[in-house]
Structure 1
Amino acid sequence: MQDTFEFSSSFAGPRLAVTILMHGDEACGLAVLDTVRAENFALSSGSLVVLVLNRRAHEAPEGPVRHLGTDMNRIWSHAGLGERTEEARRVASTLPCLKDADAILDIHSMPSQDTPFLFVSETHPRSADLAEKLGAAVPRVVTAPPPQQRGMALFETELLSKETPIVVECGQHQSAQAPDVARATFLRFLSVHGMIETGGDAETASSETVRFYEMCREIKLDQGPLTLALPMRGFDRLDRGETYGWDGPRPLIAEEDCHVLLTRPAVNPGDEALTLVRLTRTRHV
């Protein structure tokens, strides 16, 4: 089964890369494949590669799963590449394609939250500039510090130096809007690089207020399981002192005014449970 799709124009321009199915249960990125396979798809300049990263997890016998034993989005480091796993070999095989790219769009979805956002890392400062340009498609941008208690993800990896990686989280896995968000962000990604004609559905809303956030805390379980005080759909506001859940019997209390970016189905000690963010600024685009 083909996992690398190449497209080019007769005219010089940027080299872009798009990665989909990093996690096998995040199928919204397949909408990009439908788009690039359409008869009327053509680049006006530059070149594009679309990489399907973890098809085996997507086509697992029991149905699509996040991974087959190793989370591919936690091993984008020299140490991770040293692991003797199928996922590490796949990461190593994609690096040459990604190192040739001027910018990388990594497409994901979420287990529970349904509010799309863009994710950039302090390790790649130029990604923040790209996020502002993509804000018309996805008007929330979160900046993450270098990881401290987990493995390295693609959008923050130091294996890529000059490239500009950015993540779009398109909503909940089964959300009807997630493929549309993936497609709109992809077309905007091409458009801001001057690689397709603007107008039509390559652009989304004519104006948006883009909200910028920074991560303030990643919470892992000490005891487990995680129990939430209320259902959370993404960017849910917490007031300082508010109890928003429990780690086993221990209450989880907001240490400042913030928002819940992500919750995960965490059960065991050490599981990644929640990510909290704070609003830093807004900008009209």
Structure 2
Amino acid sequence: MVKSSVPTALPIQQIVGLNSGPKLIVLGAVHGNETCGTEAIRRLLQELEQGTLRIERGTLTMVPIANPLAYQLKRRHGDRNLNRSMRVTDVPQDFEDRIANVLCPLLQAHDALLDLHSFHTPGIPFALIGPCNNHGDLQPFSRAEAEEAMALRLGVNRFVEGWLETYAQGVADRQARGAAASLDYGVGTTETMRRYGGIAITLECGQHEDEKAPQLAYDAVRHTLAHLGMVTDTVRSPTKESEIIRLYQVVDRLHPDDRFSRNWRSFERTERGEVLAHRHDGAELTADKDGWIVFPNPNAQVDQEWFYLAEASQRLAR
């Protein structure tokens, strides 16, 4: 790549209300091929400029393209996956390190994060939420109720928990078999935000090419602004028919010839004993309990996450 073609800046738009209030940050294109958030943010910026949307209180910060190199390349990452290892570093080694050095302090200066994403296989939109309140070592948290209240007003009824502990076990499994594995345990935007004391939700708005995804992303930002009292829009009632799913295992691809038993869709139901995939040597991978297959990626790289297994949770039962 020609050096001059590498982005040298991160565009950020900020609107500060004249009355004090919450500080919300919205991210688009953390993964460069997930552009629904970018489209939604640009629409919101146009409305703010025209005056059809007004921030009455608090601060709204929007980053339409959080990873400009990945966006320019029209792929998930630039040099690496920004949303698996976020940290401030004095000696940045790649483009995503430089982006993280800007994003981390920006997140720390806010109270809430809405990170807008999409996914590659067909499925319905969902929100990834953090842990219950806890004092553990991996991801201590004390604002679960506030985060849940925000999540329930995004316009989706499927919620997923268990990300970080599942990914941490996946990292441990990689280390045990001698594969390279980051010690950051899958820490991305939302995990970083929670470590700074804020609340954070990743909203998966639909398949990459789904024409409805940008609208869902836009509506979610509007609902969040109303919920936080930053605009005068009517506050959306919380979703009543919620389904929450807990991730409990990540399965890595170990060989280029590992293959799925069929073309799985994310969140397809699975039955205990059902064959999900085949290793290159013919070994079968089966579901150990009734549940779901989540984030199946037929193009996964070797020693990277291939698919997740999930089970039902009663966390948001009302």
Give CA deviations for 1:210-237 in whole Å, capped at 9, x if unaligned.
1112111111022344433333333211
For 1:221 and 1:178, how far apart are their aligned partners in 2? 29
Q: Which aligned runs of 4 or more in structure 1 are off by greater than 6 angstroms?
A: none
Which secondary structure state, in structure 2, belongs to the residue aligned with residue 66 of structure 1?
coil
Return the match for 1:194 from 208, 226, 229: 229
Aligned to 2:157: 139
The equivalent of 2:79 in structure 1 is: 69
Higher mean Cα deviation, 108-117 or 264-273?
Answer: 264-273
Instruction: Compare the two structures and name the one with the higher strand fraction.
Output: 1
Higher mean C-alpha displacement, 69-78 vs 153-162? 153-162
1:273 corresponds in structure 2 to: 306
Matches within 5 A, 1:92-111: 92-111=101-120
Q: Name the CA shift for 1:207/1:69 in 2 (closer, same or farther; >3 Å).
A: closer
**Percent identity, aligned pairs only?**
22
Matches within 5 A, 1:10-49: 10-30=18-38, 31-38=40-47, 39=50, 40-49=52-61
Paired AA for residue 68 in structure 2: R
Cα shift at 1:168: 0.6
Quote how far apart the aligned CAs of 1:125 are.
5.1
Comparing 228-237 and 256-265, the one that deviates more: 228-237
1:120 partner letter: I
Kindly indicate whether the alpha-carbon contact (under 8 Å) linking 2:87 and 2:104 is maintained by their aligned counterparts in 1.
Answer: no
Unmatched runs of 5 consecutive residues or more in structure 2: 1-8, 132-138, 172-184
Partner SS, residue 54 of structure 2:
coil
How well do the aligned residues superpose, as a CA RMSD in angstroms?
2.5
Distance 1:250 1:128 in 2: 43
Residue from 209, 220, 231 that aligns with 1:185 = 220
Matched residue type, 1:100:
A
* SS at 2:288 equivalent: coil
TM-score normalised by the chain length of structure 2: 0.79
- Listed as ranges, the gaps of 5+ residues in structure 1 are none
Aligned length: 278
- Shift, 1:132, TM fit: 4.0
CA distance in 1, matches of 2:304, 2:257: 9
Provide the rounded CA distance (Å) in 1 between the counterparts of 2:60 and 2:69: 23
CA distance in 1: counterparts of 2:310 and 2:30, whole angstroms = 24
Moved more, 269-278 or 121-130: 121-130
Query: Is 1:217 aligned to residue 249 of structure 2?
Result: yes
TM-score, scaled relative to structure 1: 0.87
Q: Which has the larger radius of gyration?
A: 2
Q: Aligned pair in 2 of structure 1 residues 159, 206: CA closer, same or farther (>3 Å)?
A: closer
Worse-matched range after superposition: 133-142 or 11-20: 133-142
Does the 8 A contact of 2:10 with 2:68 survive in 1?
A: no
